[in-house]
Structure 1
Amino acid sequence: MNFESKSSVITMAEQDQSPGGSSDDGYSKGQILENPPQKKMKIETECEETGIDWISEIPDALIAQILTQMPTPDAFKTTLLSKHWQYLWNSMDNLIFDNRNTDWSDRVNVINKFISFTDNVLTLLCCSKIKKFTLYFRSCLVASYGSKIDKLLEIALKKKAEDLELEIWYYDQDPYVLPQALCSSSFILKLNCEYCRIPEECVLNWTSLKSLTLRHLFLRDEHVDQIVTNCPQLESLKLCEFCGFHHLHITSPKCRILQLIDHAHPDGDWGSLEGDCSFEIVAPYIQHLKISGHFDSVEIKLGDLSSLVHADLTFSVDVVFDKTVEHLLASVRCANELMVPCWVIEMIYVLLLEKKDVS
C-alpha cells in the first residue's frame, strides 16, 4: 500500500477494456474484490482543488476514537501505515482481545502468542484510564494460564477499567478462578463475567458497580448477600445459567432491573447439587423482572415485589409445585404488564374448572 500526494481519489490499476475483459460469470475485472498480485492499490490523500492532505489533518483524538471501534489486533496493525500512526494506537481506551476464532492446529503456540500480544499491548498503553476491557479466552488448559490471565486483569485494573467483559471458556477442565483484586475493584461500573469461578474465601465488593451480569456460575448464598450488600450503586442484575443460592433479597432502592435466565448446574464438582432446587426472591424496589428459560425441578418463590411495572415469567418447568401458579400471580399482581407462558394459562384454566379463586 503506497501513500502519494496528488488527489483524494482511491485509484486502482486500470481495467482490461478489451472485449474479453469480462469474466465468464458476467463480472468485469474492476468488480473483483481481490486484485491480481501485480495490481497495487494506491491511496492518494491530497485533494486536487485545495491541495490539503485530509488524512494528515485528522486530529489524533479522532483517530484514537476510530481505533477504539476496531478489534485491538487490527488497530495495532495501523502502526505500519506511517510514522505518524506508529504510536496512535497506544492511547486507545477500548480494548478487545479475542482468540475464539483462532486456528487451533498448534494450540500451545497460538495461545502463548495471544497472551504475549495482549500483555505487550496493555503494558505499552499510555492512557490513564480504560473505559472498556474485553477478553474472550478459550483453551483446554485454562487452569495453566490462570496466573497469566491474572496479570492481564491486574494491568487493566491498574488502568481503572470501568467496563469489563470476561468470557474464559474452560471446556472439560477446571474454570478460571477470579482474583480478589477483580472482586473488590472500586472503579468497575459494569461487569459481564462468564464461565468463571468465585472462590469461597473471595469477598465481592464493587462499590461503584451499576450493572452486573454473571453467566454459568455457581453462586452461594454468601456471594449473593455480598452483591446485594456491597454494591450500593447496583441498578441492574442479570444471572444466566446459574445455581447454588436459595435467597435473593434485594433491598436497595437503586436496583430496578432483575433478570434470571436458565437455571443450570455448571460443570465440576464445586458446582454440583443433588435433588430439587428452590430459591426465594424479595425485591420491593424492582420495576422490571424477567424469569425465562429452563427452570426444571426448581421451585421459585416470589415475595415482596410491590414496585413491579413489567413482569416476564416466560420460563419453562418440568414439574409444577403445589400452588405455584397461585403464588406467582399473587406476587406480580401489581405489575402493569405481565407475560406468562402457555403452561400458566393452562393451569389457570384447570383451577377455574376446579372453581378455585386465583385473583
Structure 2
Amino acid sequence: MVGVDRLSDLPEPILIHILSMLREGKEVVRSSVLSTRWRFLWMSVPVSLYYHLPVDQGENEVHDFVTSINRELHYWRSCQKIRRFTVYFDIREEKFVRDVDLWVYFATKLANVEDFTLGLFFMNDQIYEFPQFAYKNTSLRNLLLWFCQLNPSGSVNWSSLVSLSIMYLKNTTEGVMEKVLAGCPNLECLRLHYLWGIHHLEISNVKLTELIIMDYKTDESDIWLEIVAPYIQNLQLMGSCSEIRLRNVASLVSAVLSLDFDFGDGDEWQKESSCLKQLLHSVARVENLKLGPWCIECLSILELKGWQLPPSSRKSLQLNRNFEQLDLPGICRFLQSSSNIETLVIDGFNQDTRDLLSKYTNEDEQRRRFETHNYNCSLLHLKTIKFINFLGPLRKNKAVLSSVKYLLKHATILEKFVIAGRYRGAVASQDFVKMELEFPRFPRSSPHASFIFSYC
C-alpha cells in the first residue's frame, strides 16, 4: 500500500460529503493544496460563511473588515453552493451602505443562499434600507434582518421563505408587513422583535402557524396593535407587549405569555392589567398555555381585586415563576378556571425578586386569605404535576408545601408527581431524603399518585 492515496481514491460525492463537515469555509478551501485531485473540490462543497465585526472597533479595523469581506466574496462566487451567509456589522458611516448592498446582492442574486442573516448595528438613528432588488428571490428559506427598513416599491417574491425574523422594525409605514407577507406563500414562522408604531397586523398566510413578538412600542398611549391571525397555531408574546390585542386567533393551539410589565401606578396599571385580561380571554381555548412571572404576579393582584378569570379548555399549563406564598391565591384561582387540565408544570428557574404584591397586601394577610377563602376546584383530569428547577431545600419553602398539599387534595386521578430541584452543596441529599418520607404522607385524593424525586 506504499504510495497509494486511499483517501483521494474515494468517489467524489464521498469526498465532498467529508469536506462539508468542516465548520469554516476557509478550511474547505485549504483542502485544495492536498493534491491535484482536491484542487477544485471545494467549489462543489456546500459551505457556511460567517463574518462578525465586534462593536467599538477603530476606523482601521472597520475598513479592514469591509475590505476582507469584499475580497473573499469575489472568490466565493466560484462556489456552487453557499448554504448560509451571516454578517454582523456596525455601520458608522454612510459610505459603507454600498458595501452592505454588495453583500445583500451576493446573498440574494449571485450565491442564492438559503439562510441569510444581516445583523446591522448603528451608532445613530440611521436605518439601512433593504434594497429593492432583494425582494425578488426564490432561494431564501430563512431570513433574519436587524435594523433594516422594509419598504418594497413593488410586489415581493420570497416564494421559498419558511422563516422570517425581523429585529428592530421601526418607522415602517402601515401595510408594509402585509405586503411582505403576501409575497411569502410558504412562510411558516414569523418573528418580530421590537416593533415600533405598527397599529394593525393581519396575517392571512395559511401555512404561517407560528408567530413570535417581543417588545412592542407605540408613541400614542391610546393606540394598540391589533393582530388578526386566523391560521396561527403557536403564539409567543414576550417582553413589553402591554398594547397588543388579539382579534382573531381561531386556530391557536399553544400560547406563551411572558410579558414584562412596568407595573406603574394609576393609569399605567389599568392599561397593563386590561391588556392581560384581554389576552387571557383570547387564549382561553388554547390547549397549551405558558405564563411568565410577571403575568402570574399580575394575576395575584387581580384576584385580590375580585376579578374572575374566564373558564378555559386548556389541557397543559406551565407557570414559569419561583412563586411565593403571596402568589398562591392567584394560582389557585387560575386553576379553578382550568378544569380540563391534564398536565401542570411549575418551573422555578426564574429567581428574580419582586415587591409588587407587597404593595397590595402582606404575607400574613394573604395566608389568611388562602386559608379562609374557598379555592376548591375539581381537577378531574389532572394526571401529571411537575415542580422543576427550584433552588434550595423545598421542605422550607412554604409556598411549595402549601401548593403540593392543595394539588394532592384536588387532583382526583393524579398518576405522577415529579419534583426536580437544583441544589448547591451537600444539603441536597438530606432534603430529598426527608421529602421522600414526608410528601407521600400528605392527604391525597388519588390513591394511585406516585412521587418521583430528582435533583442536580
State if a TM-score over 0.5 links the two structures.
Answer: yes
Contact 2:195 2:216 in 1 (8 A): yes
Is 1:110–2:64 an aligned residue pair? yes
Instruction: Report the 3-state secondary structure (helix = DSSP H, G, I; strand = E; otherwise coil) of the residue aligned with 2:8.
Output: helix
Question: Tell me, which stretches of 5 or more residues in structure 2 are unaligned?
Answer: 263-267, 311-456
CA 1:329/1:137 → structure 2, altered by over 3 Å: closer, same or farther? closer
Aligned position for 1:252: 205
Alignment of 1:241 with 2:194, yes or no, is: yes
Alignment partner of 2:16 out of 64, 85, 88: 64
Deviates further, 145-154 or 206-215 = 145-154
User: 2:165 is matched with which residue?
Assistant: 213
Aligned equivalent of 1:349: 300
Q: Which residue of 2 aligns with 1:274?
A: 219
Aligned-residue offset at 1:66: 4.1
SS of 2:96 mapped into structure 1: helix
Give the corresponding residue for 1:327: 278
Deviation at 1:324, TM superposition (A): 2.1
- Conserved in 2, the CA contact under 8 Å of 1:140 and 1:173? no
In structure 2, C-alpha distance between the alignment counterparts of 1:105 and 1:141, rounded to whole Å: 9
**Take 1:67 and 1:169, find their aligned partners in 2: how far apart are those partners?**
33
Does residue 1:358 correspond to 2:309, yes or no?
yes
Indicate if the aligned counterparts of 2:83 and 2:114 stay in contact, CA closer than 8 A: yes
3-state SS of paired residue (1:169):
strand
Which amino acid in structure 1 is aligned with residue 193 of structure 2?
C
Picking from 91, 114, 122, the partner of 1:162 is 114
Distance in 1, matches of 2:289 and 2:274, equals: 19
Task: Answer yes or no: is the 8 Å Cα contact 2:135–2:152 preserved in 1.
Answer: no
- Return closer, same or farther for 1:165/1:61 CA change in 2, 3 Å cut-off: farther
The one of the two structures with greater contact order (alpha-carbon pairs below 8 A, sep at least 6) is 1
Distance (Å, rounded) in 2 between the aligned partners of 1:101 and 1:82 = 37
Report the CA distance between 1:104 and its aligned residue: 5.3
Kindly provide the CA deviation profile for residues 290-338 of structure 1, in whole angstroms up to 9, marking residues without a partner as x.
Answer: 011233xx41111221211111001112144162222111100111111
Q: Which residue of structure 2 lines up, in the alignment, with residue 305 of structure 1? A: 249
What SS class does the counterpart of residue 232 from structure 2 fall into?
Answer: coil
CA 347–106 in structure 1, closer or farther in 2 if over 3 Å, else same: closer
Residue among 45, 50, 53 paired with 1:100: 53
Cα deviation, residue 181, structure 1: 1.6
Structure 2 Cα separation of the partners of residues 228 and 305 of structure 1: 17
Match of 2:77 in 1: 123
SS of the residue corresponding to residue 302 of structure 2 reads: helix
Cα separation, partners in 2 of 1:237 and 1:353, compared to 1, 3 Å: same
CA distance in 1, matches of 2:136, 2:76: 21
So what's the TM-score if we normalise by structure 1? 0.72
Look up the SS of the partner of 1:181 in the other structure.
helix
> RMSD value over aligned CA atoms?
2.9
Q: 1:108 to 1:255 in 2, by over 3 A?
A: closer
Change (3 A) 1:101 1:59: farther
Partners of 1:243 and 1:211 in 2: CA distance:
21
SS of equivalent residue, structure 2 residue 37: coil
CA 52–242 in structure 1, closer or farther in 2 if over 3 Å, else same: farther
Higher helix proportion (structure 1 or 2): 2
Matching residue of 1:197: 149
Number of paired residues?
298
- Give identity over the alignment, percent: 25
1:202 CA displacement: 6.5
Q: What is the one-letter code of the residue matched to 1:243?
A: W
